[in-house]
A = this chain, B = another copy of it.
Protein backbone atom coordinates (compact mmCIF):
# COMPACT_ATOMS: atom_id res chain seq x y z
CA UNK A 1 0.00 0.00 0.00
CA UNK A 2 1.25 3.54 -0.73
CA UNK A 3 -0.16 7.02 -0.46
CA UNK A 4 0.50 9.62 -3.15
CA UNK A 5 1.01 12.68 -1.02
CA UNK A 6 1.79 16.40 -1.20
CA UNK A 7 3.27 18.10 1.84
CA UNK A 8 1.75 21.60 1.60
CA UNK A 9 -1.81 20.80 0.44
CA UNK A 10 -4.67 20.46 2.95
CA UNK A 11 -6.35 17.24 1.72
CA UNK A 12 -3.23 15.03 1.89
CA UNK A 13 -2.61 16.41 5.40
CA UNK A 14 -6.10 15.28 6.37
CA UNK A 15 -5.13 11.69 5.56
CA UNK A 16 -1.70 11.94 7.24
CA UNK A 17 -3.23 13.27 10.49
CA UNK A 18 -5.91 10.55 10.37
CA UNK A 19 -3.25 7.84 9.93
CA UNK A 20 -1.20 9.30 12.79
CA UNK A 21 -4.27 9.17 15.07
CA UNK A 22 -4.78 5.52 14.09
CA UNK A 23 -1.08 4.72 14.48
CA UNK A 24 -0.93 3.35 10.93
CA UNK A 25 2.26 3.64 8.84
CA UNK A 26 1.85 3.88 5.09
CA UNK A 27 4.59 4.50 2.53
CA UNK A 28 4.32 8.07 1.25
CA UNK A 29 5.15 9.01 -2.33
CA UNK A 30 5.75 12.75 -2.75
CA UNK A 31 3.94 14.36 -5.71
CA UNK A 32 5.09 17.85 -6.69
CA UNK A 33 2.02 19.93 -7.58
CA UNK A 34 4.23 22.93 -8.42
CA UNK A 35 5.83 20.82 -11.18
CA UNK A 36 2.33 19.55 -12.13
CA UNK A 37 3.38 15.95 -11.52
CA UNK A 38 -0.27 15.16 -10.62
CA UNK A 39 -1.27 16.19 -14.17
CA UNK A 40 1.51 14.21 -15.88
CA UNK A 41 0.58 11.55 -18.44
CA UNK A 42 1.92 8.83 -16.18
CA UNK A 43 -0.02 9.94 -13.11
CA UNK A 44 -3.27 10.40 -15.08
CA UNK A 45 -2.90 7.06 -16.88
CA UNK A 46 -1.79 4.91 -13.97
CA UNK A 47 -2.71 6.48 -10.64
CA UNK A 48 -5.59 8.95 -10.75
CA UNK A 49 -7.30 9.90 -13.99
CA UNK A 50 -8.64 13.07 -12.34
CA UNK A 51 -5.12 14.15 -11.36
CA UNK A 52 -5.82 14.33 -7.64
CA UNK A 53 -3.64 14.08 -4.55
CA UNK A 54 -3.97 12.24 -2.18
CA UNK A 55 -4.52 8.87 -3.84
CA UNK A 56 -4.16 5.56 -2.04
CA UNK A 57 -2.74 2.61 -3.96
CA UNK A 58 -3.89 -0.73 -2.58
CA UNK A 59 -1.73 -3.86 -2.77
CA UNK A 60 -3.76 -5.18 -5.73
CA UNK A 61 -2.81 -2.03 -7.68
CA UNK A 62 -6.25 -0.41 -7.49
CA UNK A 63 -6.65 3.17 -6.31
CA UNK A 64 -8.89 5.16 -3.97
CA UNK A 65 -9.01 8.94 -4.08
CA UNK A 66 -10.88 11.64 -2.10
CA UNK A 67 -9.32 12.14 1.32
CA UNK A 68 -12.50 11.24 3.20
CA UNK A 69 -12.87 8.00 1.23
CA UNK A 70 -9.27 7.08 2.06
CA UNK A 71 -9.86 7.85 5.75
CA UNK A 72 -13.02 5.76 5.73
CA UNK A 73 -11.12 2.81 4.24
CA UNK A 74 -8.68 2.92 7.16
CA UNK A 75 -11.55 3.30 9.67
CA UNK A 76 -13.01 0.09 8.26
CA UNK A 77 -9.82 -1.96 8.30
CA UNK A 78 -8.76 -0.65 11.72
CA UNK A 79 -11.74 0.61 13.74
CA UNK A 80 -9.70 1.68 16.80
CA UNK A 81 -9.63 4.42 17.82
CA UNK A 82 -13.00 5.25 16.23
CA UNK A 83 -12.77 8.57 14.36
CA UNK A 84 -16.08 8.47 12.47
CA UNK A 85 -18.29 8.13 15.57
CA UNK A 86 -19.25 5.33 17.97
CA UNK A 87 -23.01 4.85 17.51
CA UNK A 88 -25.63 5.83 14.89
CA UNK A 89 -26.29 9.32 16.31
CA UNK A 90 -22.60 10.13 16.82
CA UNK A 91 -21.75 8.80 13.35
CA UNK A 92 -24.40 11.12 11.88
CA UNK A 93 -23.12 14.06 13.93
CA UNK A 94 -19.54 13.46 12.79
CA UNK A 95 -20.69 13.36 9.16
CA UNK A 96 -22.85 16.46 9.66
CA UNK A 97 -20.10 18.53 11.26
CA UNK A 98 -17.41 17.34 8.91
CA UNK A 99 -19.57 18.48 5.99
CA UNK A 100 -20.58 21.75 7.62
CA UNK A 101 -16.93 22.58 8.17
CA UNK A 102 -16.01 21.53 4.63
CA UNK A 103 -18.68 23.73 3.07
CA UNK A 104 -18.39 26.72 5.38
CA UNK A 105 -14.66 26.87 6.06
CA UNK A 106 -12.49 24.55 3.94
CA UNK A 107 -14.49 25.24 0.76
CA UNK A 108 -14.45 28.97 1.44
CA UNK A 109 -10.65 28.99 1.97
CA UNK A 110 -10.10 26.87 -1.15
CA UNK A 111 -12.30 29.12 -3.31
CA UNK A 112 -10.66 32.26 -1.89
CA UNK A 113 -7.18 30.89 -2.62
CA UNK A 114 -7.79 29.20 -5.97
CA UNK A 115 -9.63 32.15 -7.49
CA UNK A 116 -7.31 34.95 -6.41
CA UNK A 117 -3.75 33.59 -6.13
CA UNK A 118 -1.05 33.58 -8.82
CA UNK A 119 -0.25 29.97 -7.89
CA UNK A 120 -3.54 28.81 -9.44
CA UNK A 121 -3.50 31.13 -12.46
CA UNK A 122 -2.88 28.29 -14.89
CA UNK A 123 -4.50 25.50 -12.88
CA UNK A 124 -7.93 27.11 -12.43
CA UNK A 125 -10.45 29.14 -14.49
CA UNK A 126 -10.25 32.00 -12.01
CA UNK A 127 -13.27 34.15 -11.15
CA UNK A 128 -11.66 36.74 -8.85
CA UNK A 129 -15.05 38.10 -7.62
CA UNK A 130 -15.93 34.59 -6.43
CA UNK A 131 -12.60 34.30 -4.62
CA UNK A 132 -13.02 37.70 -2.95
CA UNK A 133 -16.59 36.91 -1.85
CA UNK A 134 -15.38 33.71 -0.20
CA UNK A 135 -12.49 35.45 1.52
CA UNK A 136 -14.84 38.14 2.84
CA UNK A 137 -17.04 35.50 4.48
CA UNK A 138 -14.29 33.83 6.50
CA UNK A 139 -14.46 36.05 9.62
CA UNK A 140 -18.18 35.26 10.05
CA UNK A 141 -17.44 31.56 9.47
CA UNK A 142 -14.76 31.57 12.16
CA UNK A 143 -17.32 33.27 14.47
CA UNK A 144 -19.86 30.57 13.55
CA UNK A 145 -17.45 27.78 14.49
CA UNK A 146 -16.50 29.65 17.67
CA UNK A 147 -20.18 29.77 18.61
CA UNK A 148 -20.62 26.05 17.85
CA UNK A 149 -17.75 25.26 20.23
CA UNK A 150 -19.29 27.17 23.15
CA UNK A 151 -20.70 24.12 24.88
CA UNK A 152 -18.50 21.25 23.83
CA UNK A 153 -14.88 20.21 23.63
CA UNK A 154 -14.70 18.91 20.07
CA UNK A 155 -16.34 19.80 16.77
CA UNK A 156 -18.91 16.98 16.73
CA UNK A 157 -19.35 16.51 20.49
CA UNK A 158 -17.38 15.07 23.40
CA UNK A 159 -15.02 12.91 21.35
CA UNK A 160 -12.19 13.82 18.99
CA UNK A 161 -13.17 12.75 15.46
CA UNK A 162 -12.42 13.20 11.79
CA UNK A 163 -14.54 16.38 11.99
CA UNK A 164 -11.78 17.87 14.18
CA UNK A 165 -9.18 16.85 11.62
CA UNK A 166 -11.21 18.46 8.82
CA UNK A 167 -11.69 21.63 10.88
CA UNK A 168 -8.07 21.93 12.06
CA UNK A 169 -6.79 21.58 8.52
CA UNK A 170 -9.35 24.02 7.11
CA UNK A 171 -8.61 26.60 9.79
CA UNK A 172 -4.83 26.18 9.47
CA UNK A 173 -4.94 26.43 5.69
CA UNK A 174 -6.85 29.72 5.97
CA UNK A 175 -3.40 31.30 6.43
CA UNK A 176 -3.11 31.31 2.62
CA UNK A 177 -5.84 33.95 2.51
CA UNK A 178 -4.53 35.83 5.55
CA UNK A 179 -6.83 34.38 8.26
CA UNK A 180 -5.50 33.10 11.57
CA UNK A 181 -7.16 31.83 14.75
CA UNK A 182 -6.91 34.45 17.51
CA UNK A 183 -8.46 35.37 20.86
CA UNK A 184 -11.17 37.20 18.95
CA UNK A 185 -12.77 33.72 18.84
CA UNK A 186 -12.03 32.29 22.33
CA UNK A 187 -13.77 28.91 21.96
CA UNK A 188 -12.18 28.37 18.56
CA UNK A 189 -8.77 29.34 19.98
CA UNK A 190 -9.18 26.94 22.94
CA UNK A 191 -10.21 24.05 20.66
CA UNK A 192 -7.46 24.88 18.16
CA UNK A 193 -4.87 24.77 20.95
CA UNK A 194 -6.11 21.34 22.06
CA UNK A 195 -6.17 19.70 18.63
CA UNK A 196 -2.88 21.31 17.55
CA UNK A 197 -1.14 19.93 20.65
CA UNK A 198 -1.91 16.33 19.64
CA UNK A 199 1.17 14.64 18.11
CA UNK A 200 -0.89 13.87 14.98
CA UNK A 201 -1.10 17.59 14.13
CA UNK A 202 2.53 17.50 12.97
CA UNK A 203 1.85 14.77 10.42
Chain A residues with CB under 8 Å of chain B are: 50, 58, 62, 64-66, 68-70, 72-73, 76-77, 87-89, 91-93, 95-96, 99-100, 125, 127, 129-130, 133
Contacts and interface: CB of A to CB of B under 8 A. Distances in A.
Contacts of A68: 95, 99
A93 B72 contact: no
Nearest to A96: B69
A112 B140 CA distance: 24
Contacts of A73: 88-89, 91-92
Contact of A76 (B62, B70, B91, B127): B91
Number of copies: 2
B50 A100 contact: yes
B50 A69 contact: no
Given A129-B130, A133-B127, A69 B93 contact: yes
A4 to B, nearest CB: 14
